[in-house]
Protein backbone atom coordinates (compact mmCIF):
# COMPACT_ATOMS: atom_id res chain seq x y z
CA UNK A 1 0.00 0.00 0.00
CA UNK A 2 2.76 2.36 0.94
CA UNK A 3 4.50 1.51 -2.32
CA UNK A 4 1.34 2.34 -4.32
CA UNK A 5 0.89 5.60 -2.42
CA UNK A 6 4.49 6.49 -3.08
CA UNK A 7 4.06 5.74 -6.78
CA UNK A 8 0.90 7.90 -6.91
CA UNK A 9 2.63 10.77 -5.12
CA UNK A 10 5.58 10.49 -7.47
CA UNK A 11 3.27 10.45 -10.48
CA UNK A 12 1.31 13.49 -9.28
CA UNK A 13 4.52 15.39 -8.63
CA UNK A 14 5.77 14.49 -12.10
CA UNK A 15 2.42 15.56 -13.57
CA UNK A 16 2.55 18.94 -11.81
CA UNK A 17 6.11 19.50 -12.98
CA UNK A 18 5.18 18.47 -16.51
CA UNK A 19 2.14 20.73 -16.73
CA UNK A 20 3.63 23.62 -14.81
CA UNK A 21 4.97 25.49 -17.92
CA UNK A 22 1.80 24.87 -19.90
CA UNK A 23 -0.37 26.02 -17.05
CA UNK A 24 1.71 29.17 -16.70
CA UNK A 25 1.43 29.90 -20.39
CA UNK A 26 -2.31 29.19 -20.31
CA UNK A 27 -2.73 31.45 -17.31
CA UNK A 28 -0.77 34.22 -19.04
CA UNK A 29 -2.87 33.86 -22.20
CA UNK A 30 -6.10 33.97 -20.19
CA UNK A 31 -4.94 37.12 -18.41
CA UNK A 32 -4.08 38.72 -21.72
CA UNK A 33 -7.49 37.89 -23.18
CA UNK A 34 -9.13 39.17 -20.02
CA UNK A 35 -7.28 42.51 -20.35
CA UNK A 36 -8.37 42.82 -23.97
CA UNK A 37 -12.01 42.03 -23.19
CA UNK A 38 -11.97 44.49 -20.31
CA UNK A 39 -10.44 47.09 -22.63
CA UNK A 40 -13.20 46.64 -25.22
CA UNK A 41 -15.82 46.91 -22.48
CA UNK A 42 -14.20 50.06 -21.07
CA UNK A 43 -14.10 51.67 -24.53
CA UNK A 44 -17.72 50.73 -25.19
CA UNK A 45 -18.83 52.23 -21.87
CA UNK A 46 -16.90 55.43 -22.64
CA UNK A 47 -18.63 55.63 -26.03
CA UNK A 48 -22.07 55.00 -24.55
CA UNK A 49 -21.36 57.55 -21.83
CA UNK A 50 -21.30 60.36 -24.37
CA UNK A 51 -17.61 61.20 -24.00
CA UNK A 52 -16.40 63.99 -26.34
CA UNK A 53 -14.82 62.67 -29.51
CA UNK A 54 -11.26 63.87 -28.80
CA UNK A 55 -11.43 62.53 -25.27
CA UNK A 56 -12.76 59.18 -26.51
CA UNK A 57 -9.93 58.83 -29.03
CA UNK A 58 -7.31 59.67 -26.39
CA UNK A 59 -8.77 57.02 -24.09
CA UNK A 60 -8.88 54.45 -26.88
CA UNK A 61 -5.20 54.74 -27.79
CA UNK A 62 -4.17 54.68 -24.13
CA UNK A 63 -6.33 51.65 -23.33
CA UNK A 64 -5.19 49.75 -26.43
CA UNK A 65 -1.52 50.51 -25.75
CA UNK A 66 -1.83 49.23 -22.20
CA UNK A 67 -3.91 46.16 -23.12
CA UNK A 68 -1.41 45.05 -25.78
CA UNK A 69 1.69 46.28 -23.93
CA UNK A 70 2.73 47.86 -27.21
CA UNK A 71 5.29 50.56 -27.89
CA UNK A 72 2.99 52.95 -29.71
CA UNK A 73 -0.66 53.30 -30.66
CA UNK A 74 -2.44 55.93 -32.76
CA UNK A 75 -5.66 56.76 -34.61
CA UNK A 76 -5.33 58.49 -37.98
CA UNK A 77 -8.28 60.23 -39.64
CA UNK A 78 -8.81 60.11 -43.40
CA UNK A 79 -9.14 63.62 -44.82
CA UNK A 80 -11.80 64.54 -47.43
CA UNK A 81 -9.13 64.59 -50.16
CA UNK A 82 -8.47 60.89 -49.61
CA UNK A 83 -5.21 60.94 -47.65
CA UNK A 84 -4.25 60.80 -44.00
CA UNK A 85 -3.64 64.03 -42.12
CA UNK A 86 -0.12 65.09 -41.23
CA UNK A 87 -0.79 64.31 -37.58
CA UNK A 88 -2.67 61.60 -35.77
CA UNK A 89 -5.91 62.66 -34.11
CA UNK A 90 -4.77 60.70 -31.05
CA UNK A 91 -1.53 58.90 -30.20
CA UNK A 92 0.02 57.26 -27.14
CA UNK A 93 3.36 55.82 -26.03
CA UNK A 94 3.40 54.10 -22.63
CA UNK A 95 6.88 55.54 -21.99
CA UNK A 96 6.07 59.07 -23.11
CA UNK A 97 2.33 59.55 -22.75
CA UNK A 98 0.40 61.45 -25.39
CA UNK A 99 2.32 62.28 -28.58
CA UNK A 100 1.25 64.52 -31.47
CA UNK A 101 3.19 62.86 -34.30
CA UNK A 102 3.64 59.08 -34.33
CA UNK A 103 6.79 57.58 -35.84
CA UNK A 104 7.22 56.99 -39.55
CA UNK A 105 6.69 53.21 -39.22
CA UNK A 106 3.21 53.54 -37.75
CA UNK A 107 2.22 56.24 -40.22
CA UNK A 108 3.48 54.18 -43.20
CA UNK A 109 1.60 51.18 -41.87
CA UNK A 110 -1.61 53.23 -41.67
CA UNK A 111 -1.14 54.59 -45.21
CA UNK A 112 -0.69 51.06 -46.56
CA UNK A 113 -3.91 49.97 -44.85
CA UNK A 114 -5.78 52.86 -46.52
CA UNK A 115 -4.30 52.11 -49.94
CA UNK A 116 -5.08 48.41 -49.72
CA UNK A 117 -8.44 48.88 -47.92
CA UNK A 118 -7.49 45.99 -45.64
CA UNK A 119 -5.81 45.15 -42.35
CA UNK A 120 -2.00 45.19 -42.56
CA UNK A 121 0.15 43.07 -40.23
CA UNK A 122 3.95 43.18 -40.10
CA UNK A 123 5.64 40.33 -38.30
CA UNK A 124 9.10 41.93 -38.18
CA UNK A 125 10.08 45.36 -39.51
CA UNK A 126 13.69 44.23 -39.72
CA UNK A 127 12.70 41.90 -42.59
CA UNK A 128 10.31 44.32 -44.30
CA UNK A 129 11.27 46.16 -47.49
CA UNK A 130 8.03 48.17 -47.84
CA UNK A 131 8.76 50.55 -44.99
CA UNK A 132 11.14 53.47 -44.63
CA UNK A 133 13.74 53.42 -41.90
CA UNK A 134 12.63 55.01 -38.65
CA UNK A 135 14.36 58.12 -37.40
CA UNK A 136 15.81 58.13 -33.87
CA UNK A 137 13.03 58.17 -31.31
CA UNK A 138 10.33 57.24 -33.84
CA UNK A 139 9.46 53.83 -32.57
CA UNK A 140 11.21 50.47 -32.28
CA UNK A 141 14.00 49.68 -34.76
CA UNK A 142 12.64 46.15 -35.05
CA UNK A 143 9.44 44.54 -33.83
CA UNK A 144 6.06 44.24 -35.47
CA UNK A 145 3.03 46.32 -36.25
CA UNK A 146 -0.63 46.17 -37.21
CA UNK A 147 -3.11 48.64 -38.74
CA UNK A 148 -6.87 48.10 -39.06
CA UNK A 149 -9.41 50.21 -40.92
CA UNK A 150 -11.89 52.15 -38.77
CA UNK A 151 -15.21 52.20 -40.69
CA UNK A 152 -17.05 55.50 -40.96
CA UNK A 153 -20.55 56.60 -41.86
CA UNK A 154 -19.80 56.60 -45.61
CA UNK A 155 -16.41 54.98 -46.21
CA UNK A 156 -13.39 54.63 -43.92
CA UNK A 157 -13.05 57.06 -41.04
CA UNK A 158 -9.37 56.28 -40.70
CA UNK A 159 -6.91 53.76 -39.25
CA UNK A 160 -6.15 52.35 -35.80
CA UNK A 161 -2.53 51.19 -35.59
CA UNK A 162 -0.11 49.79 -33.03
CA UNK A 163 3.61 48.89 -32.84
CA UNK A 164 5.35 46.27 -30.70
CA UNK A 165 9.00 46.14 -29.66
CA UNK A 166 9.35 42.40 -30.42
CA UNK A 167 8.57 40.57 -33.66
CA UNK A 168 5.52 38.32 -33.83
CA UNK A 169 3.55 40.09 -31.10
CA UNK A 170 0.45 40.60 -33.24
CA UNK A 171 -1.36 37.37 -33.97
CA UNK A 172 -4.94 36.66 -34.93
CA UNK A 173 -6.23 37.37 -31.41
CA UNK A 174 -4.51 40.78 -31.25
CA UNK A 175 -5.80 41.69 -34.69
CA UNK A 176 -9.29 40.60 -33.66
CA UNK A 177 -9.03 42.73 -30.52
CA UNK A 178 -8.04 45.82 -32.54
CA UNK A 179 -10.86 45.14 -34.98
CA UNK A 180 -13.32 44.98 -32.08
CA UNK A 181 -12.07 48.34 -30.84
CA UNK A 182 -12.37 49.75 -34.37
CA UNK A 183 -15.96 48.45 -34.59
CA UNK A 184 -16.89 50.13 -31.28
CA UNK A 185 -15.38 53.38 -32.54
CA UNK A 186 -17.20 52.99 -35.86
CA UNK A 187 -20.54 52.50 -34.09
CA UNK A 188 -19.91 55.68 -32.09
CA UNK A 189 -19.02 57.57 -35.27
CA UNK A 190 -22.18 56.40 -37.05
CA UNK A 191 -24.31 57.49 -34.12
CA UNK A 192 -22.55 60.84 -33.90
CA UNK A 193 -22.84 61.41 -37.65
CA UNK A 194 -26.55 60.58 -37.58
CA UNK A 195 -27.16 63.01 -34.71
CA UNK A 196 -24.96 65.73 -36.17
CA UNK A 197 -26.40 65.26 -39.65
CA UNK A 198 -29.88 66.13 -38.43
CA UNK A 199 -28.58 69.06 -36.40
CA UNK A 200 -26.29 70.15 -39.23
CA UNK A 201 -29.08 70.04 -41.81
CA UNK A 202 -31.18 72.27 -39.59
CA UNK A 203 -28.26 74.59 -38.87
CA UNK A 204 -27.15 74.79 -42.50
CA UNK A 205 -30.71 75.34 -43.65
CA UNK A 206 -31.24 78.06 -41.04
CA UNK A 207 -27.91 79.74 -41.82
CA UNK A 208 -28.46 79.54 -45.56
CA UNK A 209 -31.95 80.93 -45.09
CA UNK A 210 -30.65 83.81 -42.99
CA UNK A 211 -27.92 84.60 -45.48
CA UNK A 212 -30.38 84.39 -48.35
CA UNK A 213 -32.83 86.72 -46.62
CA UNK A 214 -30.16 89.23 -45.60
CA UNK A 215 -28.57 89.08 -49.05
CA UNK A 216 -31.86 89.59 -50.86
CA UNK A 217 -32.83 92.38 -48.48
CA UNK A 218 -29.50 94.12 -49.03
CA UNK A 219 -29.86 93.63 -52.79
CA UNK A 220 -33.38 94.99 -52.80
CA UNK A 221 -32.50 98.00 -50.63
CA UNK A 222 -29.37 98.72 -52.66
CA UNK A 223 -31.32 98.44 -55.92
CA UNK A 224 -34.08 100.74 -54.70
CA UNK A 225 -31.60 103.29 -53.38
CA UNK A 226 -29.66 103.08 -56.63
CA UNK A 227 -32.78 103.87 -58.63
CA UNK A 228 -33.65 106.71 -56.24
CA UNK A 229 -30.23 108.34 -56.38
CA UNK A 230 -30.07 107.86 -60.14
CA UNK A 231 -33.28 109.91 -60.41
CA UNK A 232 -31.86 112.55 -58.04
CA UNK A 233 -28.63 112.77 -60.03
CA UNK A 234 -30.54 113.11 -63.32
CA UNK A 235 -32.82 115.83 -61.89
CA UNK A 236 -29.84 117.74 -60.48
CA UNK A 237 -28.10 117.52 -63.86
CA UNK A 238 -31.12 119.00 -65.66
CA UNK A 239 -31.40 121.82 -63.14
CA UNK A 240 -27.68 122.55 -63.41
CA UNK A 241 -28.16 123.16 -67.12
CA UNK A 242 -30.66 125.96 -66.30
CA UNK A 243 -28.47 127.53 -63.62
CA UNK A 244 -25.20 128.70 -65.18
CA UNK A 245 -21.96 128.83 -63.15
CA UNK A 246 -21.78 131.79 -60.86
CA UNK A 247 -25.51 131.94 -60.31
CA UNK A 248 -27.02 131.25 -56.87
CA UNK A 249 -27.71 127.54 -56.43
CA UNK A 250 -25.27 126.24 -59.05
CA UNK A 251 -22.72 125.09 -56.44
CA UNK A 252 -25.48 123.42 -54.42
CA UNK A 253 -26.66 121.50 -57.49
CA UNK A 254 -23.10 120.29 -58.18
CA UNK A 255 -22.82 119.02 -54.59
CA UNK A 256 -26.16 117.23 -54.96
CA UNK A 257 -24.91 115.51 -58.14
CA UNK A 258 -21.63 114.48 -56.48
CA UNK A 259 -23.48 113.10 -53.43
CA UNK A 260 -25.86 111.15 -55.70
CA UNK A 261 -22.90 109.70 -57.64
CA UNK A 262 -21.23 108.59 -54.38
CA UNK A 263 -24.50 107.02 -53.26
CA UNK A 264 -24.78 105.17 -56.59
CA UNK A 265 -21.26 103.76 -56.14
CA UNK A 266 -22.12 102.73 -52.57
CA UNK A 267 -25.30 100.99 -53.76
CA UNK A 268 -23.29 99.13 -56.41
CA UNK A 269 -20.75 98.05 -53.78
CA UNK A 270 -23.58 96.87 -51.50
CA UNK A 271 -24.99 94.75 -54.32
CA UNK A 272 -21.56 93.34 -55.08
CA UNK A 273 -20.82 92.63 -51.40
CA UNK A 274 -23.54 90.00 -51.36
CA UNK A 275 -22.98 88.74 -54.88
CA UNK A 276 -26.29 90.22 -55.99
CA UNK A 277 -25.06 92.31 -58.91
CA UNK A 278 -26.68 91.43 -62.26
CA UNK A 279 -25.21 88.26 -63.81
CA UNK A 280 -24.72 87.51 -67.48
CA UNK A 281 -24.38 83.71 -67.59
CA UNK A 282 -23.09 81.82 -70.59
CA UNK A 283 -21.76 78.35 -71.27
CA UNK A 284 -18.07 78.23 -70.38
CA UNK A 285 -15.22 75.82 -69.70
CA UNK A 286 -14.26 76.29 -66.05
CA UNK A 287 -10.77 74.85 -66.58
CA UNK A 288 -10.06 77.30 -69.43
CA UNK A 289 -11.30 80.18 -67.28
CA UNK A 290 -8.98 79.16 -64.42
CA UNK A 291 -6.07 78.82 -66.86
CA UNK A 292 -6.73 82.31 -68.27
CA UNK A 293 -6.96 83.80 -64.78
CA UNK A 294 -3.79 82.06 -63.50
CA UNK A 295 -1.46 85.08 -64.02
CA UNK A 296 -3.83 87.40 -62.13
CA UNK A 297 -4.31 84.81 -59.37
CA UNK A 298 -0.54 84.39 -58.95
CA UNK A 299 -0.21 88.16 -58.64
CA UNK A 300 -3.01 88.23 -56.05
CA UNK A 301 -1.37 85.40 -54.08
CA UNK A 302 2.05 87.07 -54.05
CA UNK A 303 5.49 85.49 -54.22
CA UNK A 304 5.10 83.59 -50.94
CA UNK A 305 2.24 81.36 -52.12
CA UNK A 306 2.76 78.89 -54.96
CA UNK A 307 -0.25 78.29 -57.24
CA UNK A 308 -0.59 74.72 -58.54
CA UNK A 309 -3.15 73.90 -61.26
CA UNK A 310 -4.57 70.38 -61.71
CA UNK A 311 -7.14 70.90 -64.45
CA UNK A 312 -8.87 67.85 -65.91
CA UNK A 313 -9.25 68.41 -69.68
CA UNK A 314 -12.34 66.21 -69.64
CA UNK A 315 -14.24 68.49 -67.25
CA UNK A 316 -17.65 69.55 -68.58
CA UNK A 317 -19.00 73.04 -69.08
CA UNK A 318 -21.13 75.19 -66.76
CA UNK A 319 -23.62 78.02 -67.22
CA UNK A 320 -22.19 80.98 -65.32
CA UNK A 321 -21.02 84.57 -65.57
CA UNK A 322 -17.24 84.50 -66.28
CA UNK A 323 -16.74 87.90 -64.67
CA UNK A 324 -18.52 86.82 -61.50
CA UNK A 325 -16.51 83.58 -61.28
CA UNK A 326 -13.33 85.57 -61.82
CA UNK A 327 -14.35 87.69 -58.82
CA UNK A 328 -14.95 84.51 -56.77
CA UNK A 329 -11.44 83.23 -57.54
CA UNK A 330 -9.87 86.63 -56.91
CA UNK A 331 -11.55 86.95 -53.49
CA UNK A 332 -10.54 83.41 -52.50
CA UNK A 333 -6.96 84.05 -53.65
CA UNK A 334 -6.80 87.22 -51.53
CA UNK A 335 -8.24 85.33 -48.56
CA UNK A 336 -5.63 82.58 -49.02
CA UNK A 337 -2.80 85.11 -49.18
CA UNK A 338 -3.95 86.69 -45.94
CA UNK A 339 -4.16 83.30 -44.24
CA UNK A 340 -0.69 82.19 -45.41
CA UNK A 341 1.51 85.19 -44.64
CA UNK A 342 4.49 82.86 -44.18
CA UNK A 343 3.92 81.16 -47.55
CA UNK A 344 2.59 77.83 -48.77
CA UNK A 345 0.71 76.22 -51.65
CA UNK A 346 -2.73 76.71 -53.19
CA UNK A 347 -3.93 73.88 -55.44
CA UNK A 348 -6.80 74.49 -57.89
CA UNK A 349 -8.36 71.35 -59.35
CA UNK A 350 -11.32 70.73 -61.67
CA UNK A 351 -13.26 67.50 -62.12
CA UNK A 352 -16.66 66.04 -62.95
CA UNK A 353 -18.79 64.69 -60.10
CA UNK A 354 -22.24 63.17 -59.68
CA UNK A 355 -24.27 64.30 -56.67
CA UNK A 356 -26.81 61.68 -55.68
CA UNK A 357 -30.08 62.06 -53.81
CA UNK A 358 -28.49 61.10 -50.48
CA UNK A 359 -25.99 63.94 -50.80
CA UNK A 360 -28.75 66.38 -51.78
CA UNK A 361 -30.87 65.24 -48.82
CA UNK A 362 -28.02 66.03 -46.42
CA UNK A 363 -27.23 69.40 -48.05
CA UNK A 364 -30.29 71.67 -48.27
CA UNK A 365 -30.68 73.53 -51.54
CA UNK A 366 -28.59 71.07 -53.57
CA UNK A 367 -30.12 69.53 -56.69
CA UNK A 368 -28.80 66.03 -57.47
CA UNK A 369 -27.22 65.37 -60.85
CA UNK A 370 -23.99 66.01 -62.80
CA UNK A 371 -21.82 68.85 -61.54
CA UNK A 372 -18.42 70.38 -62.18
CA UNK A 373 -16.28 70.57 -59.05
CA UNK A 374 -13.68 73.28 -58.48
CA UNK A 375 -11.51 72.39 -55.49
CA UNK A 376 -9.17 74.86 -53.78
CA UNK A 377 -6.79 73.34 -51.23
CA UNK A 378 -4.24 75.39 -49.28
CA UNK A 379 -1.54 74.56 -46.76
CA UNK A 380 -2.44 77.40 -44.43
CA UNK A 381 -3.18 77.34 -40.70
CA UNK A 382 -6.78 76.17 -41.12
CA UNK A 383 -9.87 77.30 -39.23
CA UNK A 384 -11.84 76.20 -36.20
CA UNK A 385 -15.61 75.50 -36.50
CA UNK A 386 -16.54 78.98 -35.28
CA UNK A 387 -14.43 80.67 -37.97
CA UNK A 388 -15.81 78.35 -40.65
CA UNK A 389 -19.39 79.16 -39.69
CA UNK A 390 -18.77 82.92 -40.13
CA UNK A 391 -16.76 82.68 -43.34
CA UNK A 392 -19.54 83.75 -45.72
CA UNK A 393 -21.63 85.88 -43.38
CA UNK A 394 -23.25 88.95 -45.00
CA UNK A 395 -20.95 91.97 -45.39
CA UNK A 396 -17.78 89.91 -44.84
CA UNK A 397 -15.03 89.84 -47.52
CA UNK A 398 -16.13 86.41 -48.79
CA UNK A 399 -19.88 87.07 -48.72
CA UNK A 400 -19.90 87.70 -52.51
CA UNK A 401 -18.44 84.22 -53.06
CA UNK A 402 -21.44 82.59 -51.44
CA UNK A 403 -23.91 84.85 -53.24
CA UNK A 404 -22.40 84.35 -56.69
CA UNK A 405 -22.11 80.59 -56.32
CA UNK A 406 -25.70 80.26 -55.06
CA UNK A 407 -27.07 82.50 -57.83
CA UNK A 408 -25.17 80.37 -60.36
CA UNK A 409 -27.13 77.32 -59.17
CA UNK A 410 -24.23 75.86 -57.20
CA UNK A 411 -23.09 75.48 -53.62
CA UNK A 412 -19.84 75.64 -51.69
CA UNK A 413 -18.44 73.37 -48.96
CA UNK A 414 -15.54 74.17 -46.64
CA UNK A 415 -13.34 71.58 -44.90
CA UNK A 416 -10.79 72.94 -42.44
CA UNK A 417 -9.15 72.21 -39.11
CA UNK A 418 -6.54 74.19 -37.17
CA UNK A 419 -3.10 73.20 -38.39
CA UNK A 420 -4.39 71.14 -41.33
CA UNK A 421 -5.10 73.78 -43.99
CA UNK A 422 -8.38 74.48 -45.77
CA UNK A 423 -10.20 72.87 -48.68
CA UNK A 424 -13.06 74.66 -50.43
CA UNK A 425 -15.25 72.79 -52.90
CA UNK A 426 -17.41 74.74 -55.33
CA UNK A 427 -20.06 72.65 -57.11
CA UNK A 428 -21.69 74.09 -60.25
CA UNK A 429 -24.34 72.24 -62.31
CA UNK A 430 -22.87 70.70 -65.43
CA UNK A 431 -24.44 71.63 -68.76
CA UNK A 432 -26.55 68.75 -70.10
CA UNK A 433 -24.72 66.56 -72.57
CA UNK A 434 -21.21 67.20 -71.21
Contact 399, 409 (CB under 8 A): no
Domain 282-429 matching CATH 3.30.565.10: the answer reads: yes
Say which CATH topology domain 50-170 has: Beta-Lactamase (3.30.450)
Contact 369, 355 (CB under 8 A): yes
Q: What is the pLDDT of residue 68?
A: 82
Classify domain 206-273 by CATH architecture.
Orthogonal Bundle (1.10)
Closest CA to 42 of 69, 26, 61, 29: 61
Q: Give me the residues paired with residue 264 across strands.
A: none
Q: Domain extents for the chain?
A: 50-170, 206-273, 282-429
Distance CA 180, CA 184 (A): 6
If DSSP codes are grouped into helix, strand and coil, which group holds residue 430?
A: strand
Read off the pTM.
Answer: 0.48
Q: Which residues of the chain have a pLDDT value below 50?
A: 1-5, 7-9, 11-12, 14-16, 18-20, 23, 26, 133-140
Cβ density class 281-309: b for 16+ within 10 Å, e for less: eeebbbbebbeebeeebeebbeeebebee
Amino acid sequence: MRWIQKKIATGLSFLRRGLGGSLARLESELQRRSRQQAAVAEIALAALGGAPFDELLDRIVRIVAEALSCEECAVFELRPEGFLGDRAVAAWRPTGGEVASPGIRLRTLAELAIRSSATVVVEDFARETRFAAAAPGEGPAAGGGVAVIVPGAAGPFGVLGALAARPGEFGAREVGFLQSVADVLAAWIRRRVAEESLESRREVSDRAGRMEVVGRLAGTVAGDFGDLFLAIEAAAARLAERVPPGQPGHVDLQEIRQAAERALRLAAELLASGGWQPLEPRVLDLGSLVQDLAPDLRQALGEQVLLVLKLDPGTGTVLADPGALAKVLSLLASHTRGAMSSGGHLVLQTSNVELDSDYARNHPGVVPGPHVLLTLTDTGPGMDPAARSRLFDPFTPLAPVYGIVRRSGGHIRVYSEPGLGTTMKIFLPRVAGD
